[in-house]
Structure 1
Amino acid sequence: MIVAYLALAALLEVSGDFLMRRGLTGQRWALVAGAAALAGYGVLVNQPAWAFGRTLGLYIVVFFGASQLVAFLVAGERPSASLWLGGGLIVAGGLVIHLGRS
C-alpha cells in the first residue's frame, strides 16, 4: 500500500515539475497545472504518519523510476549508460535506507 501511495506522490511531483518547465518556456497554462500538481504532492506526502527517514529512502527509488518513465514516455529521452549506472546506485541506496535496521 505504501508503494502505491509513494508512486502517486512521485507522479504528482514529476508531472508538476514537468508542467512548471513547460510553463516557464511559454505555455503559461502549464504553470497553474504544475502548481496544482506540486501542491497535491505536498499534501499527499505529508498525510501519513510514517518513519520519514526510512520511507524517504523508498520514495527516492519510486521517484527515480517515475521521473525516468516520464522522461522516456513524454519527453522522448533515452537513458544513457551513466543514467542506468547512477539509477542503479540510487535504487540500491534507497533500498538500503528503507530496509536497513536501526
Structure 2
Amino acid sequence: MNCMKVFLFVLMATIFEAVGDAVIRIAIAAPRPHMRIGFYLLGTVLLALYGTSLNLAPVEFATVTGLYIATLFVVFQITNYVLLHTAPTLPVMVGGSLIVAGGLTVYLWK
C-alpha cells in the first residue's frame, strides 16, 4: 500500500478518535440534558467510526503504530485548540516533538 494512502487512513482514524474524545468532554460539561445526550451520541458515533476504521484497516496496525502515535499527538493538539480552546504548553510541545520524532522513526526506519 502506498505511503500516502496509509497516511490518509491513519489521519482519518486519528481525527475520529480525537474529535470523538473532545465531543465526549464537551458532553460532560453541557449545561442542558438534551445537549448532553446529543453530544454523547455524536461522540459515540465518532469513537465507533475510529474503532471500526482501525479494525478494517487494509494494513497491519503494527506496521503503522509509529505513524499513528505521531499523527494522534498532532491531531489531539489541533482538536484541543479548535474545539476546546486549549493551547499546548511549552512542555507539551517539547514532549510532542519527541513523540513525533519517535513515531516517524518507528514508521520510516526499514
CA–CA distance in structure 1, aligned partners of residues 100 and 107 of structure 2 = 10
Return the match for 2:46 from 37, 50, 56: 37
Give the aligned CA root-mean-square deviation in angstroms.
1.3
Q: Which runs of 5+ in 1 are unaligned?
A: none
Q: Give the % identical residues.
A: 29
Q: Which runs of 5+ in 2 are unaligned?
A: 31-35
Paired residues, what number? 101
Offset from partner CA, 1:51-100 (integer Å, 9 cap, x none): 32230110111111111111112222122110111111100111121112
The equivalences for 1:85-100 within 5 A come to: 85-100=94-109
Q: Give 1 or 2: higher helix fraction.
A: 2
User: TM-score, normalised to structure 2's length?
Assistant: 0.84
- 1:76 has 2:85 as partner: yes
| Preserved CA contact (<8 Å) 2:22 2:84 | no
Query: Which secondary structure does the structure 2 equivalent of 1:19 belong to?
Result: helix
User: TM-score, normalised to structure 1's length?
Assistant: 0.90
Higher deviation after alignment, 86-95 or 21-30: 21-30
Code of the residue aligned with 1:15 in structure 2: it is V
Shift of 1:29: 1.2
* Equivalent residue, structure 2, for 1:12: 16
| Preserved CA contact (<8 Å) 2:13 2:54 | yes
CA–CA distance in structure 2, aligned partners of residues 31 and 73 of structure 1 = 19
* Equivalent residue, structure 2, for 1:63: 72
